[in-house]
Structure 1
Amino acid sequence: MKTIFVDGYNVVNSWPNLKQDKGVSFEGSRQLLIDILHNYGVFKECKIVLVFDAHKVAGSIEKEEQINKNISVVFTKSGETADSYIEKKVNELGRKHEIVVVTSDNLEQQTIFQRGATRMASIEFYNEILKVEKSIKSRAEKNENKQRNSISDNIDDNTARLLEEIRRSK
């Protein structure tokens, strides 16, 4: 299964829909990103690790919350950046797994290449997300149309004929 590491604040600061939301509430932007990534992870059948910096928060300890089987959210410990956390995890997983790192940090991108992972710029991932959301919406509309049942789908031909005769006789 492919694992995608996402530098949370890097994405929040580069995606247009999240950038404007963060002016109102960082928590709202984080939650919206989690929701978007959850849908993506389920649709693409991949694991997503969303990493937020807490390196400037004095006394912060590393926290990881498993949202579901597809996504976990990590807040780094005090003094640790999202970049260093991602580098450490990518180094642990090495070339054994398919790993993608979403960040627009150039130095991070070079380090990731050296460790066997591929990188995707935040805005490139945003465009990928838009395509997936469009696919999800299209698939949902197809399913909705399929699920519209008429009475004739649930009764035999003889009963349908009798009902039609009753309808016409009035």
Structure 2
Amino acid sequence: MSRKINHYLIIDGYNIINAWEELKNLARTDLEHAREKLINDVIEYAEFTGKKAIVVFDAYNVKGFREKIEQRKYITVVYTKEHQTADSYIEKYITSLSKYDDVKVATNDYAEQQIVLGKGASRISSRELKLDLDHARNKMREQNSSSTKKIQRNWLEERLDKETLSKLENIRRMR
């Protein structure tokens, strides 16, 4: 009996935002926009790769905040409850998965990376995540451009001999 292996990418959202210069600069003026940019990049990646992606943002210091889980196109976005870190949510989530699942956690937090490894998942740094997302985006562009190149016009005049074309042209003009 073979098991279906699920592929997961779990992302410590604020850790990645603070690690990527573009998002960190954006977050200084508009944190919501930085979150949405990260989420949209991950949606695009998950759609292309087929991985189940979970982006976790912690609401550790938000008074009275209750856990909120949003199902978005191809991904899940989690906002943890008050007093819960993204790290603790990720650790608990990994524990709930099958030991046969392929689980990668994107974070630059060294302590979290060690815990993730101890739970049987693998870790990728924010830099590796950026490279993976960029690589997937480039592959999508290649596929899109090659599929548009394959669409060629199929003109009748390119397939008929000159005599037949001439006869058809004469018929057209007689109308």
Tell me the TM-score normalized by structure 2. Answer: 0.85
- The equivalent residue for 2:78 is 74
Against the structure 1 CA distance between its residues 122 and 157, is the aligned structure 2 distance closer, same or farther, given a 3 Å change threshold?
same
Query: Aligned equivalents of 2:31 and 2:167: distance in 1?
Result: 60
In structure 2, give the amino acid aligned to 1:128.
Answer: D
Where in structure 2 are the equivalents of 1:131-170 lying within 5 Å? 131-147=135-151, 149-152=152-155, 157-158=159-160, 162=165, 166=169
Query: Which moved further from structure 2: 154-163 or 23-32?
Result: 154-163
Gaps of 5+ in 1: none
Query: Aligned equivalents of 1:18 and 1:127: distance in 2?
Result: 15
- Deviation of the 1:133 alpha carbon: 1.1
How high is the sequence identity, in percent, across the aligned residues?
32
Query: Which moved further from structure 2: 2-11 or 156-165?
Result: 156-165
Query: Aligned equivalents of 1:100 and 1:43: distance in 2?
Result: 17
- Deviation of the 1:16 alpha carbon: 2.4
Query: Which moved further from structure 2: 133-142 or 107-116?
Result: 133-142
Other structure's SS at 2:69 match: strand
- Deviation of the 1:135 alpha carbon: 1.1
Pick the aligned partner of 1:15 from 20, 30, 34.
20
Against the structure 1 CA distance between its residues 163 and 140, is the aligned structure 2 distance closer, same or farther, given a 3 Å change threshold?
farther
Other structure's SS at 1:56 match: coil
Q: Count the aligned residue pairs.
A: 165
In structure 2, give the amino acid aligned to 1:107.
Answer: A
Deviations 1:116-146 (A, max 9, x none): 1000011111111111111111111112222
Other structure's SS at 1:13 match: helix
Deviation beyond 3 Å, 4+ runs, structure 1:
154-161, 163-167
In structure 2, give the amino acid aligned to 1:22.
Answer: A
- The equivalent residue for 1:90 is 94
Where in structure 2 are the equivalents of 1:79-118 lying within 5 Å? 79-118=83-122
Residues 104 and 121 in structure 1, CA contact (< 8 A), matched pair in contact too: yes
In structure 2, give the amino acid aligned to 1:29.
Answer: A
1:42 and 2:44 equivalent? no
Query: Aligned equivalents of 1:10 and 1:117: distance in 2?
Result: 18
- The equivalent residue for 1:128 is 132
Against the structure 1 CA distance between its residues 138 and 164, is the aligned structure 2 distance closer, same or farther, given a 3 Å change threshold?
farther
Query: Aligned equivalents of 2:52 and 2:95: distance in 1?
Result: 17
Tell me the TM-score normalized by structure 1. Answer: 0.87
Query: Aligned equivalents of 2:112 and 2:118: distance in 1?
Result: 10
- Deviation of the 1:159 alpha carbon: 9.2
Query: Aligned equivalents of 2:26 and 2:165: distance in 1?
Result: 59
- Deviation of the 1:94 alpha carbon: 5.0
